[in-house]
Structure formats: C-alpha cells, structure tokens
Amino acid sequence: MSRRNRFIKACRGQDVDRTPIWLMRQAGRYLQEYRDVRQFHSFLEMCKKPELAVEITLQPVRRFELDAAIIFSDILLPLECMGIGLEFTDGGGPVLRNPLRTARDVERMGELDPEKDLGYVLKALEMTRNELNGTVPLIGFAGAPFTLASYAIEGGGSRNYVETKSMIYAEPASFHRLMEKLTNMVIAYLNAQIRHGAQAVQVFDSWVGCLSANDYKAFVLPHMKKLFASVDPKVPRIHFALGASHMLKLVGSAGADVNSVDWRTPLDEAWKQAGLKKAIQGNLDPALLFGPKEHLVEAARDILKRAANRNGHIFNLGHGIYPGTPVDNVALLIEAVHSGSKRR
Amino acid sequence: MSRRNRFIKACRGQDVDRTPIWLMRQAGRYLQEYRDVRQFHSFLEMCKKPELAVEITLQPVRRFELDAAIIFSDILLPLECMGIGLEFTDGGGPVLRNPLRTARDVERMGELDPEKDLGYVLKALEMTRNELNGTVPLIGFAGAPFTLASYAIEGGGSRNYVETKSMIYAEPASFHRLMEKLTNMVIAYLNAQIRHGAQAVQVFDSWVGCLSANDYKAFVLPHMKKLFASVDPKVPRIHFALGASHMLKLVGSAGADVNSVDWRTPLDEAWKQAGLKKAIQGNLDPALLFGPKEHLVEAARDILKRAANRNGHIFNLGHGIYPGTPVDNVALLIEAVHSGSKRR
C-alpha cells in the first residue's frame, strides 16, 4: 500500500498499512514556495487562476510524504458569487461588503451555478487530478452552511456572533431560509467538485462552536443532515466542526463518513462521542508544530496510542496550520505518524 | 429573604426564597449612565478613580433588582503594576507594551503589593460597601493566572494563542514559573479584596478554553488548586472558565465553591460534570438579551427548569453582557428569573 489509497481506505474504515496523514491548510503561508507565488498575486487571484491554484495545491504534496492533496481555494468564494461581496484585507481577514440582516436580504441572495460561477475551482480540480496522476487522492471542500451564514450576516469574522444569533432568535424563519439556501448551494457545489475530480470532500464548520448544543440541534443539525444525505456518497464526506467538544455526539449524528475534531477532547474520547462506527480525523493542536520536536513527536504518539491502530483514523491537525510554522517540524510530524503506526 | 443574602446563601448551597441573579459585566457600555461617565473619562481613569468606580458599580444595582454588585475594575490592572504595560486602544482591545517571551522576561516581572499598587481598587471596594449599606453583597474579582499569562505573553488578545502555547511547550519551566508568580499575585490580591470588603470573589479564566483537557491538567489545574486552597474561604470563591465544556470535570476539581459555566453545555449536564456538591452559576447566552423577549424568557425558564430549584444555583450569563444590549431586556430577564424561581 502507498500514498495512493491509504487515505480513502481509512475514511472507509478499511485496513491500511499505516495511519494516513494530511494537514488542514497544508498549502499555505508557512511554505516559502507559497510565499514566492503570493508575492506576485493577490489571494483571490491565486484562488481564481486554475494554474496558480494547481501549483499551490501541489506544493506540500511535492515536499512532504502527505497522503492526500486538498485543492487550494477558499470557503467564501461562493458567497461572492451569491452577491454578498468579498475582499481580503491585508492581515485583517475577509470582509463581505453586503452583509445579510433581514428576511429581504436573505431572499435577495443569489443562487449559485457551480459550473458557471465557480468553473475555475472545478477546472483546478481537473488539472490537479491530472498532475497528481494517482499518486495521492484529491480532496475538495466547502464551508458549512452555519459558518457561511455567520460570515454573510456579520460581514466578516466575529468574536461573539451577536448579529448571527440575533437573526437566529429574532427571525428564526429567515435564518432557516438562509441555511436552506446555503445548504442547497453547498450540496450542488460539492457534487460538482466530485464530478470534476474530487475523491473526498470536507465540510468546514469553523465557527459553529459558538452555539449551545440546543441551538445547534434546532438551527444547524437538520441542515447538516440534509447536506450529508445529498452529497454523493461515492466519495468519503468529512465533517469538521471546530470548538464543538460540547456537542460531538450531535455533530457525529449529521451523517458524514468521517468526523474531524479539534484538539480539545482526547482522540479516544472524541471518537467515542462522535461515533465509533464512523472514521475519525484529527486531533493535534497546530501550535505543537512550533516545537520543540520531542514534545511534538510525543503528542503525535499519544494520539496514535489513543487511536490504537483501530481502522478508520486519519491523522490531521485540530485546525489549519498557522503561518510561521517551521517547515521541518511538518516533515517530522508526517514521519512520526507513518513510522509510529505501521501495521505490518 | 431579600437581595441582602440570597446570593451568598446560594453560593453556600443553602435554602433561598428564589434564585439569585447577577450578570457578568452588568456595569458597562450598554447602560446610558455608564456612557455618560465614559464620555468624560478614559477607561483606565474610571478604574483608577475610586469615586468613579463606585458610581459605575452602583449603576446597575440602582436600576435593576440584581442580587449582587460586582466592583467595576479590570483584570489587567495588576499586569500594569507588574511592569508589562497596559493601554486600551479605541475599539481594538487592550495592548500590553512589554510582553513576556523568555525565562528572563518572566524573572524580571515585578511583584505586586495589592495595598500599595492597587490601593484604588481596595478603596473603591470599601466605599462601595459603605454605599451599598447591606442592600446587596459586593463581589470582588481577578483574572485567572492562565488568562493573565496569555495576555502577558501575547501582548493583548489573541485568536490562536500561538505564543502562549509555544512557551508552554518549548519552555514549560518558564511557563510554570510565570503561572506561579501570577497565582501568588492573584491570591494576595483577592485576599486583600476580601479584607477590604469583598463578600465573594470571582476568578475569570476567559481564554483557558483554547487548551486541550490534557494541557489544562498539566499546566493550569495545579495552579488553580493552589489558588483556591489559598484564598480566604470565609467568602464564596467563584471560578469562571469560558469555553471549557471539554473539561468541566477538571475545572470543577480546582476547588472553588461555585463553578460558573458558559452557555454551551445545558445547565443540568454542566452541573453534573462540574460537581453537584458545588454551587453552579450560569448559563444564559448573552446574545439572547438582544431579544425577542419571548425567546429570552423561554431560554431563562429552560435554565431554571434544568436547575429544578435545587439549592446552589446562581443565575447569570455565560459571558459578559455585550455592548448594545437593550436595557429593558435585562430588566425582563431579572424579573423572569425571580418570578420563575419562587420557592415559597
């Protein structure tokens, strides 16, 4: 077995020769070769020009023994197509110029035709598959409806999500309508990615941890269930919810094939709560990549020990790689995971 | 029974006539009378001039049927005295000009003499006690060592706490030394507050939720245990850890008399995990105060139902009141809690 099929097999809970590993935001600012491209192109340009997206997607796969590639893109691109506007400010994060606040705003939000509106992502997937030529599988992705809704309502990142929660509580029908529209969009977008070459898809619910378990159950879970019931099951569907330790069981009930967890709850405990029948992905704190090496390796081994070579574990971080991460520590982590999880 | 002793009795797990309520950051920007003072004084000035701090402390107690007052102050004031520098930028949050990064920085950090360095807080406590004249008890507070350490290391607020975690992993001895110094400071500061009139004290661990349960156990819990073993038990000691749903049992083992929880985990479940032998405080999402009224009342009733009039529940929010909160909703919440929890 090799990098060719380890990741997909683990997603399916099948036998593997060692635990596969890929890293959220593995193509990013911590890599010199990424910064070399970034120097001459805006972030949005890098997302929108397939040849650039392909190059960046391949950078970490060339450099490291990763078991999967993930297409370089951004979860907010669909919102731009839906008329909410999108800019990336220097260091300040994304800004959405036309935030949604009222029922009318929600109704006015455009629809997305992935083939037409995000053809550049689909093209990049096709080209990357071609370049990868079967060496490692290619992952597509989308933002989860709640996380996209929070960006669309707040107009950017947020600390307390007061506008989002205000819509949830004051205008529950509008919020559900927004979630419905976004869910339909994500389903169509992910299925298009699968048609164009994605061999697995991940849904990023980065900000859903701001909700209570009860609000998650009432306002998010039904949409996530519909989402996972509607995305083509011929590829593994991965569900990542950050900061969701208080509702892992609910998150696990949404219907994904793989639950991806952050670093807060120990892996064995998180796996039990999210469901042992599903595969699990995670859960190293990305801050550990800043060193020291012995501590990083020790923490990786602890996760492997908790996974106990049980089928269905994909090693990953609990959040995307932070800028400034030392590159040699990334290589060390991958080596430690592979060498520390040999089955035969 | 009345506002005079309901809160303290609940902290002690004793019989009360109805569930007491106070609100984190109840003296703040959402009040017109606060903004009237703020217009003429900087935030630091308001903390440092006892007559201003007293006035602001009393504002919400005058306006609402709250069961406790909490002294108006800021958790970062001791760091300023310890040489780390402190400024409040307009809207951008606190900035600490001399962040700690090395073992030498930690050693160089000054000590705090609460009577000398923070005499204005102690004076404000005395004056407020006098003004309150027994109507409601007065709460003192301090930041928890981890939260203060994260501010001191990062130089302000943070999203991912990479510098803090880097010190934890790369320089564990320095981090423990920093925690030790801060713990000793907090103990001395809280005991001074008690000597000068605080009838309960709360420790705010606002950012500790960024740590895994295992890191909390290794790097924070021993210091919290020492803290609660050393703060005078003649007054109730309250422990608030935000975003700590993944480690409520550990937090509950630190030794406080009251565990204060955010909104993520339902109250009955959080109480069970933090320990039924201790009192519990919480856990309404402060975003609910933005309305609508029916939903706010319903959510408050749900918490009361989960507490089931069991002795040892203090109603509170799961985080400080947000600026912009409608004042009449605060009054409504207090009324709903009192009327919905009458024991006889």
Domain of residue A308, CATH code: 3.20.20.210
Question: Contact B290/A212, CB-based, under 8 Å?
Answer: no
B173 touches chain A (CB under 8 A): no
- Chain B residues touching residue A266 (CB < 8 angstroms): 212-214
Closest C-alpha among B191, B200, B197 to residue B232: B191
Is A160 a member of any domain? Answer: yes
Q: Which of A4, A29, A63, A101 is catalytic?
A: A29
Is A344 a member of any domain? Answer: no
Average pLDDT, chain A: 96
Q: Which of B67, B74, B205, B257 is catalytic?
A: B74
Please confirm, yes or no, whether B74 is among the known catalytic residues.
yes
Where are the extended beta strands (E) located within B58-208? 69-70, 87-89, 93-95, 138-143, 200-205
Expressed in angstroms, the distance from the first to the final Cα of chain B is 11
Instruction: Indicate the residue of B161, B214, B286 with minimum beta-carbon distance to A266.
Output: B214
Expressed in angstroms, the distance from the first to the final Cα of chain A is 11
Residue whose structure tokens are 């997302």:
A47
Digit-coded pLDDT (tens) for B80-107: 999 998 998 876 789 999 999 999 999 9
Digit-coded pLDDT (tens) for B225-247: 999 999 999 999 999 999 999 99
Question: Contact B246/A263, CB-based, under 8 Å?
Answer: no
Question: Contact B285/A170, CB-based, under 8 Å?
Answer: no
Residue B2 pLDDT? 80
Residue B1 pLDDT? 64
Digit-coded pLDDT (tens) for A118-131: 999 999 999 999 99
Tokens of A69: 């590639």
Pair B22, B70: CB distance under 8 Å: yes
Please confirm, yes or no, whether A25 is among the known catalytic residues.
yes
Nearest chain B residue to A242, by CA: B210
Please confirm, yes or no, whether A12 is among the known catalytic residues.
no
Is A209 a member of any domain? Answer: yes
Give me the domain span that covers residue B24.
Answer: 6-339
Residue A2 pLDDT? 80
Q: Is the pLDDT of residue A37 over 70?
A: yes
Digit-coded pLDDT (tens) for B136-169: 999 999 999 999 999 999 999 998 999 999 999 9
Q: Calculate helix-pair angle for B267-274, B293-307, nearest 10 degrees.
A: 40
Q: Is the pLDDT of residue A91 over 80?
A: no
Residue B127 pLDDT? 98
- Rounded to an integer, the average pLDDT of A146-167 is 95
Is A66 a member of any domain? Answer: yes
Residue B90 pLDDT? 73
Residue B182 pLDDT? 98
Is B344 a member of any domain? Answer: no
Pair A141, A204: CB distance under 8 Å: yes
B158 touches chain A (CB under 8 A): no
> For residue B51, what is the enclosing H or E element?
helix B50-63
Three-class SS of residue A70? strand
B160 touches chain A (CB under 8 A): yes
- Chain A residues touching residue B220 (CB < 8 angstroms): none
Q: Tell me how far apart the alpha carbons of residues A252 and A260 are, in angstroms, rounded to a whole number.
A: 9
Tokens of A216: 């998650």
Q: Which of A34, A67, A74, A129 is catalytic?
A: A74
Residue A1 pLDDT? 64
Is B103 a member of any domain? Answer: yes
% of chain B beyond a pLDDT of 90: 94
Closest-CA distance of chain A to residue B228, Å: 24
Question: Contact A266/B324, CB-based, under 8 Å?
Answer: no
Number of separate domains in chain B? 1
Residue A222: Cβ-neighbour burial (10 angstroms; 0-12, 13-18, 19+)? middle
Residue whose structure tokens are 């201790």:
B278
Nearest chain A residue to B215, by CA: A264
Nearest chain A residue to B287, by CA: A162
Rounded to 5 degrees, φ, ψ at B323 are -55, 145
Question: Contact B264/A169, CB-based, under 8 Å?
Answer: no
Question: Contact A295/B170, CB-based, under 8 Å?
Answer: yes
Digit-coded pLDDT (tens) for A193-210: 999 999 999 999 999 999
Q: Which of B154, B169, B207 best tests the A interface by mutation, with the highest count of A CBs <10 A?
A: B169
Q: Tell me how far apart the alpha carbons of residues B140 and B131 are, in angstroms, rounded to a whole number.
A: 15
Q: How confident is the model at residue A307 (pLDDT cuts 50, 70, 90)?
A: very high
Q: Is the pLDDT of residue B73 over 90?
A: yes
Q: Which of B34, B151, B189, B216 is catalytic?
A: B151
- Chain B residues touching residue A296 (CB < 8 angstroms): 169
A207 touches chain B (CB under 8 A): no
Strand partners, B94: B88
Q: Tell me how far apart the alpha carbons of residues A221 and A208 are, in angstroms, rounded to a whole number.
A: 11
